[in-house]
Homo-oligomer: A and B are copies of this chain.
Amino acid sequence: MEKELEMDKELDQVIYIGLMGAGTVGTGVLKVLLKNETSIAKKVGARLEVKRILDKDVEGISAKVAALGMDGSIVTSDINDLVLDPEIDIIVEVMGGIQTAEKFIIKALENGKSVVTANKDLIAARGKELFDVAAAHQVDLLFEASVAGGVPIIQSLKESLAGNVIHSIMGIVNGTTNFILTKMTQEKKSFDEVLALAQKLGYAEADPASDVEGYDAARKVAILASIAFNTRVTDTNVYVEGITNITDRDIAFAQELGYGIKLLGIAKEENNEIEVRVHPAMIPLNHPLSSVNDAFNAVFVEGDAIGKTMFYGAGAGELPTASAIVGDLIAAARNIQFSSRGRLGCTCFEHKRIKSIGEIRTKYFLRMLVKDQPGVLASIAAVLGNQDVSIETVIQKRQKDKFSTELVLITHQVEEHHIRDAIAIIRSLSSVEKMENIIRVEESD
């Protein structure tokens, strides 16, 4: 009885939230907060209530908010109605974009509000600066939703795995490209065909460049690398290749050789130097990342104590992203309840050199069209050998109705500059008609 009274009393406490942006994700946040209001309140010891919503489209959003059963008049187009309201303790930023969002977040932090954001573009580019502002004002800046949607990879890296030295991260962190590669593999269709399908289904945008060129994944892997290696990595530090030149032919050969092709975000540390890259990669079919299909995301982490671990789930969408944001809101609210704001600050206390792409070390899949004549393989093998590249696997297949042959090689591990040098020479050989594709192969030697 006493317990119950205590609970009721606690539930009279309210922590007020200001929501910046009421698009898909913002609406998801409202839905989750409304639907699970009671259980969230019990976990926090206080009710979480959205007091104001910032959006340019006041009328449209008011109607949308009213349709959820909330008071439509809480929508405003004036940032000051949120950041200058002393009752509001936490701001959720789901507007997206960089300049305005940054300005608004800084204004919120400077006014003593904790901030929860899903803004990967901003965190990847300006995370450190924002953390400095948050630290100066002793408030929280949380961003779980910025990577892999609802998958709790940020908190796990910052807290549960904090006892580890992280050696590497490999992530499927872009759902659109994973959907495209999955369909290309399962239905043996071309990139263009599947992209059109993905656009029709809403998995890809009309301008798909940010996804298919790898830029979206690069922002996420920059964030992961910063946390994992306690150093600063921005999106501009990430080497990026997209999936637009992956063909069904590459996928067929990969499968024949026991690999799948995924767009991977890879971050590794060795000897205090790090590498950060996004590109299509072949991974063994028995690797846990290989069975991550469709629009799902997964992040595979190797640490010195934990060994291999993987986090899997929906990487985007209204509710999965809202799950991460509400998780952060609960953490921020608990920190307010316990007067422990700023408990998890920026962990980028090291300065580690970032390797150039030529310095990375992996295996390579080379697919080329060569003349069907004696001595071709020998000459290519000689070029590779001269550049210290040794060959692990060779497949040579006569092309139907053609005078050329398709030659596929997988190398042993080698530093990339050797491969680049070798390929420049191989391209110039008269027996080589076309270097069709070069794909990195991620597995231990």
Contacts and interface: CB of A to CB of B under 8 A. Distances in A.
A169 to B, nearest CB: 14
A310 to B, nearest CB: 4
A175 to B, nearest CB: 12
A150 interface: yes
A327 B159 contact: yes
Contact of A165 (B39, B155, B161, B308): B39
A335 B327 contact: no
Interface in A311-352: 311-314, 317, 319-320, 322-327, 329-331, 334-335, 338-340, 342-344, 347, 349
Given A165-B36, A230-B42, A349-B7, A305 B330 contact: no
A162 B151 CA distance: 12
Contacts of A312: 288, 309-312
Given A306-B319, A335-B343, 5 more contacts: A36-B305, A151-B309, A160-B327, A305-B320, A338-B340
Contact of A305 (B292, B322, B340): B322
A304 B32 CA distance: 9
A239 to B, nearest CB: 26
A375 interface: no
A402 interface: no
A164 interface: yes
A288 B163 CA distance: 27
A103 interface: no
Given A305-B320, A313-B309, A36 B151 contact: no
B163 A309 contact: no
Copies in the complex: 2
A23 interface: no
A349 B306 contact: no
Interface residues of A, number: 62
7 contacts: A32-B304, A32-B305, A150-B161, A160-B327, A163-B323, A163-B326, A308-B314
Nearest to A28: B305
B304 A36 contact: yes
Contacts of A152: 152, 156, 159-161
A121 B163 CA distance: 24
Contacts of A400: none
B306 A163 contact: no
A338 B335 CA distance: 10
A43 interface: yes
A40 interface: yes
A306 B320 contact: yes
B35 A304 contact: yes
A144 interface: yes
Interface in A158-189: 159-165
A307 interface: yes
A236 interface: no
Given A163-B32, A164-B36, A339-B340, A307 B319 contact: yes
B327 A338 contact: no
A163 B145 CA distance: 13
A278 to B, nearest CB: 22
Nearest to A44: B162
A24 interface: no
A331 B155 CA distance: 11
A149 to B, nearest CB: 8
